[in-house]
Amino acid sequence: MNSPVFAWLVPSVFGVLLAVAALRRTTQRAGDGPFDLGAGYLLGWLVLPLTLWFTGPGAHAAVTWAALSGAVVLLWLARRRFRAPRWAGLNWETALVTLLALAVLWKLVLMTGEVSLRPLYPWDAWAAWSVKAKAWYFSGEITRFAEPEAWFAAAPGSAYTNSAEHYPPSLPLMQLWMAKGAGVWDERYLGWPWPGAYVALTLVFWGALRRARVSLVQAGIATYIVAAAPLVTAHVALAGYADLWVAGWLTLGVAALAVDAPPRRIRWGWWLAAVVALPLLKLEGWIWSAILIGLALLRCVPLGARRDRVRAAIAAALALLLVVVAAAIWLLTMGNALPMGLKFELHAVGRPFLFAMFASSDWGMLWYLIVAGLILSLRAPLATAPRLALGFAVFATVSLGGLFGFTNAGEWAERQTALSRLLLQCGPALFLLVNLAVAAAGNARHRKGTAYTPPTLQEK
Amino acid sequence: MRHPGERAITPKFALGFAVAASLLVIAVMLVALAGRGSSPLTSPIVFSPSDLQTVLGVGALRDDAYVVDALSPRSEALVVRRGEVAGAGDASYLRYRLSGVPRNLEVFFAWRRADQGGALSFTRLPLVQDRDGLVALADHPEWGGSIVEVALYFVPAPQLSPRMPDPLAIKVAGWSLEPATFGSSLSAQLTRWFAFRPWSIMSISSLGYNKDGDVIEGVSLQLLLGGVLVVSMLLIALLFRGARGRRASLAGAVLFCVVLGDLAWTRNLQRVHDLTRATFADTSADERLRALPDGDLAVAIASVATRVDEPQTARVFVHAPTRYLSLRAVWHLLPLNAYERAPADHWIDDLRPDRDYVLVVDDAAAPTQPLSSALALAPVTEAGGVKLFRVVSGKRR
C-alpha cells in the first residue's frame, strides 16, 4: 500500500503498542500514558526502519506487514492497559496547562505545515543524511558508502561516497522508510517523522515529570519551555537533522534513571534502550551513552555515610586519572589524530558558549532556568535528583568543553555551526533533571517547614 | 498549613507582583538600551513619493504612495530619489514604511555621497511591513557628508526561493531621515527585534546569526528577557523570603518572560510559514524543483544527467566554484554515482574512458588540458551554465 500516512503510522503505532504491551506495568500513575506514547514512538522509529538495514529496501512491504501483525498481537496483549486520561476538572491549574498545550499545538501545526511543503532545506539534511536514503531508494539496495579512496577503487556501482559516509544509518533509514512507504521519492514526505519526534520528546518530558509527582503547573510550564525553545522548533520545521532524536532518546534515558516509577526492570529497560540507541543516531551518541552509564553509576553509588562519600571521591579521582592517562597514552602513541577525524587544538570557547545559551535567539529562557536550578541543586547535592542533575551538568560540560575547547571542533563552536545543536541534544534532559531536583527540594521544604532536608525519590 | 515565621501571599498578589516587577525591569532596561545620542539634525527630512523613480523594475505614483509593479528580469528593483538632500548626512535614523514586499526579497537603503565619487553605500533594512521601521544610519561608517542620491534597493534574498508572487505591488508609503531622539532609538531597537527573519542555512545551527554568519542583534530580545527574569527572580526571592506564595510568584515571572519571547518567535514562525505556503503549496514536482533556492542548478542538472550512459556504473566528478554548489550538484545528480570534487591527481591514470564523467558547474573554469597522455575530456552537453564532459581515450576533445 503506497501511502505516506500509512508509512508514518506503522512505526508510530507499532512502537507505542510495544511500549504499552510488552513493557507491562502493574500499576498506573499520572504521566505513564504520555511517557509510553513518547517513548514508544521513539522506539518504533528506531527499530522498524533499522530492519531495512538488514533486509534491504525491497523488504519494506514485508516488514510493514510483519509489524502490523505484531501490532495486532501487541494490541491484544495491551487491551487492558489502555485507559482514558483522567480529567482533573477545570481549575486555574488545568486551565493554564491547557492554554500552554494549545500554544504548543499551534506551533506543531505550523511546523508540520513547513515539513509537509518544503523540500529538504538545511545543509546536512541533504548533504550528509538524505543523500544515503536517496541512493538506497533508487538503487533498491543498501549500497555501501565509502571513503573517497575506497570508493574510487571499488567495483563500478558497488559503492557511493560522501563526506558523511561514516555517519550512523538510522536517520537515512527513517527517510528510506517514508519514501518506500509512499512509493515515490518526494522530499515533502521525508520529514514526517520529525514532528512526531517533537511530540515524543514533549510527552516523555511531561510524562517523566508527572510520574515523579511534580505539580501540574511546574510540569506544564517546564514542558512548555522545552517545547517552545526556538531551536527545538527550528529542528522540526527544518527536518532532517539527528539532534532532535538524540534529545528525545537522551531525555528518555535520563528520565528512566531519575524517576522511580515501578517496576524497576522497565526503568532499566528504557535506560538500556537509550544507551544502545544514541550511537545509532549520531556519532557523538557514544558520548551521551557513556554519560548515561556514568549517571547510572552515580545513581547507584551509596553516598549516605561519610565513608561512602570518601570512597566515591577516591573512585572518581581514579576514574579521572585513568582518563587522563589514557588520553596521554593516545596522544603519545597516535599523535594528534583523535577519533572521529578530530585533531588536538586549543580554542577559547567560553564566549561562544555564553552567547549560544544566553544571548542568541535559540533557547528562550531554558538555560537561564537550568543554571538557576543547578544553583538550587547545590543545597542538597547528594539527594538523587540534584545528584543526577549536577552529575549530568559536570559530565556534559567536560564533554562539550573538551570537544570544543581542545579539538579542531572548536572552529564549529566559534562559527556557531554546531554548538547550539549539541546544547539541543542535552538541554531537555538536563532541564528535566533540574526540574526534578527543584520539585524534590520544594516538596521537602513543604513537608518539613522551612528547614530543608535532602529529598529522596524513593517515595511511593 | 502555615509554619511559624512564614508569611503568606495570595497567588493573585504573587502573580501580579511577578508581572509588575517584570514590566518595571523591562521598562528600565529599555530606557537603558535605547540611550539617546545626538545629531545636528533638528527636524525630520521627509521624502515625497512624487520625487521617486524606478531605475530597475517598473513603478508609478499611485494614491500618495510609490508602487513597484514589476521587478527587473533579475528580480530586482531600484527606487531612486535623485538630487542633493540638504542636511541629510546629519541624520541618525532612517524611518520607512513599506507594504507588499515579498518576504523572499531583501531591502537595502542605498546612498551616494558627493565626496566619494560614484560609489554607492548600502545598509540592509529589517523587513517590517505596514508599520514604521527604523534603522540607525549613524552607526554606518560610510554615512555622513553631502548625500546626493538616496535609493531603496530590492533584491532576491539568497538561500530562499526566487519565486515571486504575481501580481506584485510593493508600496513605498513613506520614508524620512530623522534626528536622534529617545523615541527613534527605541523604535530602531524594536524594529530589530520584531522584523521578519526568514530561514537561512544557519537556522538549523543557530538562530542568532543571519545567512552571512553575522550576529543579527546587538542586544537580543532573549538577553533582555533573560535580564528581566534574573532581576525579577532576585527581587521576588529577596522581598518574599520565607513567604508561602513565593513559588507561585517565581512561576509567574518565568511564565511571563517565556511567553513574551515565545509570542515573538511564534509570530515569526507564522510569517515564515506564510512564505513557505506561498512558495510551495499546490505546486507540481517540476514547479517545486524550480522554486528551490538553487532551482536553476536543479533544472540544468536534471537536463544534462540524462546524457550519462550506463548510469548504474558511471561515475561523475563534480567541479564547482563553491562547496555548496558542489554538494548541491551531487544531490541533484543522485542516483548517479557522483563525487563532490574533481578527480584527485593520483586517480587520473585510473579513470575509465567513456564511463567516467566530469560535471562543471557555474563559473568554474572548464578543463582545457588533456587529463593525461592517455586520457582527455570530451564535451557531452551543456545546460544552464552546467557542462558535462566524458572521459575519453587519447587527446581528442
Q: Determine contact: B254 vs chain A, CB below 8 A.
A: yes
Report d(CA B336, CA B343) in Å as an integer.
16
Split at pLDDT 50, 70, 90, the class of A454 is very low
* Set of cell numbers at residue B167: 501580481
Q: What is the pLDDT along chain B (397 residues), one digit of tens a residue?
A: 445 555 566 767 777 777 787 788 788 877 777 665 666 777 888 888 888 999 999 999 988 889 999 999 888 999 998 777 777 778 889 999 999 999 999 999 999 888 877 788 999 999 999 999 999 888 888 888 888 889 999 999 888 888 888 888 999 988 999 888 888 888 888 898 899 999 988 899 988 766 565 666 667 888 889 988 998 888 888 877 777 777 888 888 899 999 999 999 999 999 999 999 999 999 998 899 999 999 999 999 999 999 999 999 999 999 998 999 999 999 999 999 999 988 888 888 888 888 999 999 976 666 666 677 778 888 899 998 899 999 998 755 4
The residue in chain B having the minimum alpha-carbon distance to the alpha carbon of residue A107 is B266
Residue A25's pLDDT is 61
Split at pLDDT 50, 70, 90, the class of A322 is confident
Half-sphere exposure of A366 (CA within 13 A, CB side): 30
Test mutation, A361, A367, A411, chain B, max B CBs within 10 A:
A361
Test mutation, B205, B207, B352, chain A, max A CBs within 10 A:
B205
- Contact A151/B339, CB-based, under 8 Å? yes
Judged against a pLDDT cut of 50, whether residue A133 lies above it is answered with yes
Report d(CA A94, CA A88) in Å as an integer.
7
| Lowest pLDDT segment from A120-124, A330-334, B123-127 | A330-334
- Contact A416/B4, CB-based, under 8 Å? no
- Overall average pLDDT of the A317-326 stretch: 82
Split at pLDDT 50, 70, 90, the class of A452 is very low
Stretch (H or E) spanning A137: helix A130-139
Residue B347's pLDDT is 87
Judged against a pLDDT cut of 90, whether residue A88 lies above it is answered with no
- Tell me which residue in B3, B204, B347 faces A234 most closely, judged by beta carbons: B204
Local structure of A205: helix, strand or coil: helix
The per-residue pLDDT for range A422-441, each reduced to its tens digit, is: 999 999 999 999 999 998 87
Q: Chain-wide mean pLDDT for chain A? A: 88
Report d(CA B188, CA B136) in Å as an integer.
7
Residue A450's pLDDT is 42
- Overall average pLDDT of the A65-94 stretch: 81
- Contact B272/A114, CB-based, under 8 Å? yes
% residues pLDDT > 90 (chain A): 60
- Overall average pLDDT of the A141-156 stretch: 92
Judged against a pLDDT cut of 50, whether residue A460 lies above it is answered with no
* Set of cell numbers at residue A16: 507505542
Residue A313's pLDDT is 81
Residue A222's pLDDT is 97
* Burial classification of residue B27, based on how many CB atoms lie within 10 Å of its CB (0-12 exposed, 13-18 middle, 19 or more buried): exposed
Residue B249's pLDDT is 83
What pTM, to 2 d.p., does this model score? 0.91
Split at pLDDT 50, 70, 90, the class of A246 is very high
The residue in chain A having the minimum alpha-carbon distance to the alpha carbon of residue B247 is A442
Is this complex scored with an ipTM above 0.95?
no
- Please say whether the dihedral angle defined by the alpha carbons of residues B234, B240, B246 and B251, taken in this order, is positive or negative: negative
The widest CA-to-CA distance across chain A, in whole angstroms, is 75
Residue B159's pLDDT is 85
